[in-house]
């Protein structure tokens, strides 16, 4: 039996059991009893009482209670010592009437306990769970500490705020789509300084919940309080979106969850979790869609620069020490670092392809491992040194659709672009097909291991029938890039120069150019 009582949202569910007895088990006969799951004013508990006899009952806090099956018909419920009243651990043995009752009780216990641990401790700006969250399960503690420390500092927030391409595009996407925000409840996922929350309030949001897990939450409160015309409609909640609870559902989610190659730092997963936990059906997401773009490139200077770093380890008499045993390891290590910089789009040797992630429908688990088949047709004859990557996101507003792009040749952002340099170049001729695979596997340091393979066939006199297949592969850690921004910036386009022919224009039609060629979204 499960009932809902009055406005206090009191719920109860009763189970009739054959007998109830206190631990340790005694040989005395125990009459039938009732096990009652009960939730009142946000507190969930399990009560045991006898059908006939004394009116006293035993209460267990479901957040700390554990249930163990002793036999198909008998279980034990144990309560750990409470931090509040320092009571001792205690237990109850439950004898069920049949195996079906036992299964139903265990199923109900698991469901009620799951709800109880997410009730947690009540705070003025929401609720924080006392259990270990999904974020903690998939993230190394050291990585999380460093991550939140980094984003808890104002100098790093300033770096992002001063990316005027980023900040200006967000502002335009919000203000130009006031119809999506006016009178709506908004959740800002990973609010940082609170700038996006303030934009949403400027657009007329009914209320904005700014969720931020780092110490930046305190700075956000101060900044928002300094804007009194907007602050009354913004609540800052310090906590992870995987853990906090909100008093109402959201009509709009807004966030800046993008990292290098779109997915670095794995905040997209938190954005998806927020969608599943907080967003109303048919709610809006800003941004709505992300695309990873890839194209093979040729850059002799960059390849030589990386390869030459390992020359240090070719010294046979470094203060009397032979360093050469470590040369091969050092060589591979330098090529395991993705290069982050701004490059000239004329370095691309084939038109780009893209892989689309629709934030409104993608499942969180689909981001754990991403497999992208690669297929290009070379536009020029050249040595291919690796794969160039960048991304863009779409703000699919009801009034205006806005793109934020990090493409080479476009105004530079703090994301720049990224290149995976292979240790062995491959040779291509105009019109030659280049195939391969980019396989991305997430890891607990909030990033991905990249496995890249590119292949091309050589044709001509002296080759075997069917050609000779050239293949080059590399393993790279997206967590450990080589930041090369001190080098010369990308060449600007002169006013009368057309955008590079190998870059796709940013249009509203979103297509996946993976092998199946199917449209993911129109």
Cα–Cα distance between 476 and 455 in angstroms, integer? Answer: 18
Residue 375: both structure tokens together: 């297929």
Start-end of H helices in 134-181: 134-137, 141-151, 154-161, 164-175, 178-181
Which distant-in-sequence residues (6+ apart) come within 8 Å of 26 by Cβ? Answer: none
Going by C-alpha positions, the residue among 108, 148, 88 that lies closest to residue 13 is 108
Helix (H) or strand (E) holding 269: helix 267-278
- So which residues are the catalytic ones? 256, 265
Cβ atoms within 10 Å of 259's Cβ, excluding its own: 18
The C-alpha atoms of residue 211 and residue 188 are separated, in whole angstroms, by 6
- What is the rounded distance in angstroms from the CA atom of residue 514 to the CA atom of residue 522? 16
- Report CA torsion sign: 338, 341, 342, 343: negative
Q: Treating both helix axes as pointing N-terminal to C-terminal, what angle do 327-335 and 300-309 enclose, rounded to 10 degrees?
A: 140
* Burial (0-12, 13-18, 19+ Cβ within 10 Å), 80: middle
Instruction: Provide the β-strand partners of residue 208.
Output: 186, 234
CA dist 498 and 496 (Å) reads 7
Rama region for 300: left / alpha / beta (φ>0; ψ in -120 to 50; rest) = alpha
Residue 397's DSSP bridge partners are none
d(CA 326, CA 426): 26
């Amino acid at each position: 039996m499960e009932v809902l009582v009055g406005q206090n949202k009191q719920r109860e569910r009763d189970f009739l059991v054959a007998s109830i007895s206190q631990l340790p088990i005694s040989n005395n006969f125990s009459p039938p009893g009732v096990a009652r799951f009960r939730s009142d004013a946000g507190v969930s508990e399990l009560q045991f009482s006898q059908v006939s006899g004394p009116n006293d009952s035993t209460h267990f806090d479901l957040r700390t209670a554990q249930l163990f099956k002793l036999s198909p018909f008998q279980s034990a419920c144990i309560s750990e010592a409470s931090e509040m009243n320092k009571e001792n651990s205690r237990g109850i043995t439950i004898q069920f009437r049949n195996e079906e009752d036992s299964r139903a009780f265990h199923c109900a216990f698991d469901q009620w306990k799951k709800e109880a641990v997410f009730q947690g401790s009540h705070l003025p700006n929401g609720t924080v769970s006392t259990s270990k969250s999904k974020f903690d399960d998939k993230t190394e503690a050291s990585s999380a500490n460093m991550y939140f420390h980094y984003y808890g500092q104002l100098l790093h927030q300033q770096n992002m705020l001063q990316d005027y391409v980023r900040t200006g595009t967000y502002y335009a996407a919000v203000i130009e789509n006031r119809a999506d925000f006016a009178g709506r409840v908004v959740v800002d996922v990973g609010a940082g300084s609170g700038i996006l929350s303030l934009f949403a309030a400027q657009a007329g949001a009914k209320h904005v919940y700014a969720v931020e897990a780092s110490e930046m939450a305190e700075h956000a409160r101060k900044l928002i309080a300094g804007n009194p015309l907007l602050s009354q409609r913004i609540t800052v909640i310090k906590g992870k979106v995987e853990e906090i609870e909100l008093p109402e559902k959201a009509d709009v989610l807004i966030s800046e969850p993008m990292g290098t190659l779109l997915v670095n730092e794995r905040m997209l997963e938190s954005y998806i979790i927020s969608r599943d936990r907080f967003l109303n059906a048919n709610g809006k997401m800003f941004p709505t869609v992300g695309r990873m773009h890839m194209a093979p490139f040729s850059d002799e200077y960059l390849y030589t620069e990386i390869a030459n770093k390992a020359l240090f380890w070719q010294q046979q008499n470094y203060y009397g020490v032979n360093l050469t045993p470590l040369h091969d390891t050092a060589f591979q290590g330098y090529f395991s670092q993705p290069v982050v910089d701004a490059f000239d789009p004329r370095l691309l040797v084939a038109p780009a392809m893209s892989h689309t992630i629709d934030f409104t429908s993608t499942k969180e688990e689909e981001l754990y491992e991403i497999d992208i088949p690669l297929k290009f047709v070379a536009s020029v004859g050249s040595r291919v040194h690796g794969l160039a990557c960048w991304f863009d996101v779409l703000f699919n507003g009801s009034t205006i659709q806005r793109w934020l792009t990090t493409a080479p040749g476009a105004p530079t952002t703090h994301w720049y672009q990224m290149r995976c340099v292979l240790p062995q170049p491959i040779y291509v001729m105009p019109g030659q097909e280049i195939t391969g695979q980019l396989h991305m596997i997430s890891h607990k340091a909030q990033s991905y291991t990249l496995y890249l393979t590119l292949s091309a066939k050589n044709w001509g006199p002296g080759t075997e029938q069917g050609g000779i297949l050239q293949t080059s592969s590399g393993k790279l850690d997206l967590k450990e890039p080589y930041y090369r921004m001190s080098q010369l910036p990308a060449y600007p386009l002169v006013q009368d120069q057309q955008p590079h022919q190998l870059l796709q224009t940013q249009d509203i039609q979103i297509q996946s150019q993976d092998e199946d060629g199917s449209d993911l979204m129109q």
